[in-house]
Chains A and B, each alone.
Chain A
Amino acid sequence: QSVLTQPPSASGAPGQRVTISCSGGTSNIGRNTVNWYQQVPGAAPKLFIYSNNQRLLGVPDRFSGSKSGTSASLTITGLQSEDEADYYCGVWDDTLNGPLFGGGTKVTVL
């Protein structure tokens, strides 16, 4: 199915670990690599993890991505206040014949 499902919110105290899931289907995550975008209020999304687990230059190594079957996840190990943002998974969908994005997860640092 051409839908990517993310939890609407996730939170943790500074230093804790937070994992965001992204559930898709055989036409998207099951066939193609997953990317993650970070969006702060009032700004455009920014790509920061691509090809399932590759961090862009400058992205801290506390961010990691993984994929298994038709699901993917983003993990923040050692949460910091500057990590507060909305995070979107994105993947090419072969049925849509275009990029598909999850609904976004708002990460809050308690």
Chain B
Amino acid sequence: QVQLVQSGAEVRKPGASVKISCKTSGYTFTGYSIHWVRQAPGQGLEWMGGINTQRGGTKVAQRFRGRVTLTRDTSITTAYLELKGLTSVDTAVYYCAREVDVVDFWGQGTQLTVSS
């Protein structure tokens, strides 16, 4: 069955960076893009960016450009989100999700807490 399993909860200080992984299984990794969506406490879903897992090309939402790096390793069917220059506003649950025409399966989420 399709699975997207994310790395565990992270705590960082302001100004630090974090890298979250999304290990996939149960389908052809390069057949789907992987997107990253975050959800701040009590808030809605916000798209951050996506990566074409076959070619490696990325798209990042304007408000995150310069702070977000998306990568993937096809040999281990895993995608990564790196977020730099963290502030308290980045405290949220971060989800990876696969997409081809529709965003269908989601990872379980990774809680990131930014606090001094």
Q: Which residues of A contact B (CB under 8 A)?
A: 33, 35, 37, 43-47, 50-51, 88, 90, 96-104
Residues A101 and B46 in contact, CB atoms below 8 Å apart: yes
Residues B47 and A99 in contact, CB atoms below 8 Å apart: yes
Q: For the complex, give the distance between the alpha carbons of A1 and B37 in Å.
A: 20
- Cβ of B47: which chain A residues have Cβ within 8 Å of it? 96, 98-101
Which residues in window 77-116 of B have CB below 8 A to A? 95, 99, 102-109
- Cβ of A88: which chain B residues have Cβ within 8 Å of it? 44-45
Give the A-B contact count at a CB cut-off of 8 A.
51
Q: Closest residue of chain B to A98, judged by CB?
A: B47
Q: Beyond A47-B105, A50-B104, A101-B37: 9 further Cβ-contacts under 8 Å?
A: A33-B102, A43-B108, A44-B109, A45-B45, A45-B106, A96-B61, A99-B47, A101-B46, A103-B44
- Cβ of B102: which chain A residues have Cβ within 8 Å of it? 33, 35, 47, 50-51
Residues B104 and A44 in contact, CB atoms below 8 Å apart: no
Most chain A CB neighbours (cut-off 10 Å) among B47, B95, B109? B47
Which of B99, B105, B108, B109 meets A99, CB within 8 Å?
B99
Q: Closest residue of chain B to A102, judged by CB?
A: B44
- Cβ of A97: which chain B residues have Cβ within 8 Å of it? 59
Q: For the complex, give the distance between the alpha carbons of A98 and B103 in Å.
A: 10
Q: Closest residue of chain A to B62, judged by CB?
A: A96
Which residues in window 48-95 of B have CB below 8 A to A? 49-50, 59, 61, 95
- Cβ of B105: which chain A residues have Cβ within 8 Å of it? 47
- Cβ of A96: which chain B residues have Cβ within 8 Å of it? 47, 61
Please judge, given known A-B contacts A35-B103, A44-B106, A51-B102, whether A98 and B49 are in contact too, CB under 8 Å. Answer: yes
Kindly provide the distance from the CB of B77 to the nearest chain A CB, expressed in whole angstroms: 19
